[in-house]
Each structure stands twice: as C-alpha cells, then as structure tokens.
Amino acid sequence: MLSLTYQEKYLILIGLYKMFEKQYKWLVTGCAGFIGSHLTEFLLKNNQIVTGLDNFLTGFQENLDEVISNLDNSQKNNFTFIEGDITSFETCSNVTKDIDFILHQAALGSVPRSIDLPIDSHSNNVTGFINILKAAVDNNVKHLVYASSSSVYGDHPQLPKVESEIGNLLSPYAATKRMNELYADVFNKVYNLHITGLRYFNVFGPRQNPKGAYAAVIPRWIEKIQNSETIEIYGDGENSRDFCYIENAVDANIKAAFSNSSTHEVYNIALNDKTTLNELYQKIASLMEKEVTPKYTAPREGDILHSHANIDKAKTNLNYEPKIKIDKGLEKTINWFKENL
C-alpha cells in the first residue's frame, strides 16, 4: 500500500485549497448522469471551468437543467456542454484539448444490463475508456480520475474488501471495470499518465434514475414506496451493501484529482459500513413514514452477496473521510425525490 508522508498529505490539502483560488479546466465525461452531474455542479459552484461530455444514453437533460438552475451567471458561463460519444476517438481527442483534469464517469452501468448487452458494455466501458486514456496522453492532461466499481471484487469472500484482494468476476460489467484498471496501470507505466481509479460502492443520492429495469435499488424503492407499490427484494434480503452518499463520492474525486502520486492507484470509495436490503427497506419506510409489502424473488445473476469496503487506503493517501452516513444520506435523497417525483 502506498503511504504518504505528512508533507505529501499537506501538499494534497494545499492543492485542494488552491482549487478554490485558481481556475483549472476540467472535463467531466458522463456529465448528464447521476454522479457526473453532481461533479459538474460542485466544480462550477467553485468557479472552475468545466467542459461536460454526454451522449444522453443514460444521462438526462433535466440533470443538467437542475445544475444550471443552481448556478449564478458567472458560473454558468464557465460551463461548455458537448453532446458526443466516448466511443469516438475524434470526439475524445477534441474535448481533452487544453484540459487540466479529467473526471471520467461515462459508462454503461448496471450488472444486469451488461449481462443482457455485453457488447454494448464493452464498447462504452472499455473502448470508450481507452479513447479517453489515449486522448489524455496526447493532450498532456495533468491527472485523470476514473470510475471503477466494487464489482471487481467478484466472489472473493473477504470482508471488508481491500484493494489488493479481488476474486473471480461475476458479470461482463465487472470485467469491463477490471479492464479499465488494467489499462490504466499500463498507460501509467508506458505513457506516464497520472491516473487514479475509484472503486465506487453503491453510490446514491438525488438525481439517480428510479425508472427502468436497470435502476438502482434506492431510487427505485423510494419511488415505489411513494406510489404505494410493492417492492422486490432479490434473495432473502440478507445480502448487504456499503451504500455511499453522492457527496462523499464527489469529495473523493476532487481529492484524487489533486493527489500527488505518480503511480496508478485504485481506492475503495464507501463508508466502511454494511446494510442488508431488509435493513435498507426499514430505513426508507421509516423515513417516508409509509410501508409496503416487500416481494421476495430469486437472486439476480451476477450479483455479489455482500459488499463492505475497507477505506483505510483512501483515508491515508487521499485524506478521504465520508462525512455523510447512510441515514442522513437517505433523508436528503428522500427529500429530493419527494420534491421532484
């Protein structure tokens, strides 16, 4: 495990401070998506210059509309949106020109979707990723931070999960994210690209899409409970997840972008906590003061049984400290959905 000195940690903190004093140029891929829109908003609110790229395959114009509505005029003028696709190298090359930092969130998410559409998942998540890597090298980007996934741990039984121990992959989506990590390591070694991977653990919050067959569990359940509809719990409900509120993930991205390491590192981004699906339902129902009858169904193919992260490496090297725990995060999320459903 990479261990930073006190001086190096201080430099990270100074870098974060300088971000608010100086304008850098950022590229956020997948800027109309859930995580990407929150990153875009955070950067713009801190007077950074942001180029956003999205093809609206899984992102939404209303996410960008909400971001823009939360900005003042000078902040709005710092945003350039480009509708385009990371599977086009020409597009990636053009949008990375004169960019200091890339926060790469664009991907075709969801384990079930990758099982249904493995070729699409590979095209977006692997080919698109290599395009961004090569464009970043060509255009001398200072640092690239990319979204990996807890799915890379596969069937490894150890809990909590540590970055150095992974198991057999259980889905095409997991394979694409593991390939991202392998390519990132190669591009760091061969091209000296400064790059950091973040293994997200079940990030949730406002703007997360509750619709469709591939919707994440928290927004889907909030919508169904709000509408007094039955929710489905896969398996017996005792499978667990390390749910991470969106503001924690945003904080991790910014700290990773300013990290001082010249080597490729991957970090777990989570709470270091676990919540079963049965517990999750009780928390949401209690906060919404409304209950429905859960329907238990067969486990989903490709799902990991338990997901619980060790975040010591991110704490040590990035000064990452998740400030919003699951109960507060659920409260903030539910309040947003009540206003926007």
The kind and range of the H/E element at 340 are helix 326-340
Residues 6+ apart with CB under 8 A from 157: 167
Q: Which residues are catalytically annotated?
A: 173
What is the rounded CA–CA span in Å between residue 47 and residue 78?
A: 7
Backbone φ, ψ for residue 177 (5° rounding): -70, -35
Q: Around Cβ 62, how many Cβ atoms within 10 Å?
A: 12
Which residues are within 8 A (CB) of 83 and not within 5 positions of it... i.e. 6 or more apart?
Answer: 53, 54, 55, 56
Task: Report in angstroms the alpha-carbon separations of 142 from 38, 65, 98, 204, 230.
Answer: 22, 29, 10, 29, 48
CA distance 107 to 34: 11
Packing angle between helix 326-340 and helix 217-226, nearest 10 degrees? Answer: 50
Q: Collapsing DSSP states into helix, strand and coil, what is residue 196? A: strand
Find residue 324's DSSP bridge partners: none
Strands 275-276 and 240-241: antiparallel
3-state secondary structure of 131: helix
Distance CA 106, CA 135 (A): 15
Strands (E), 188-288: 195-200, 203-204, 232-234, 240-241, 244-245, 265-269, 275-276
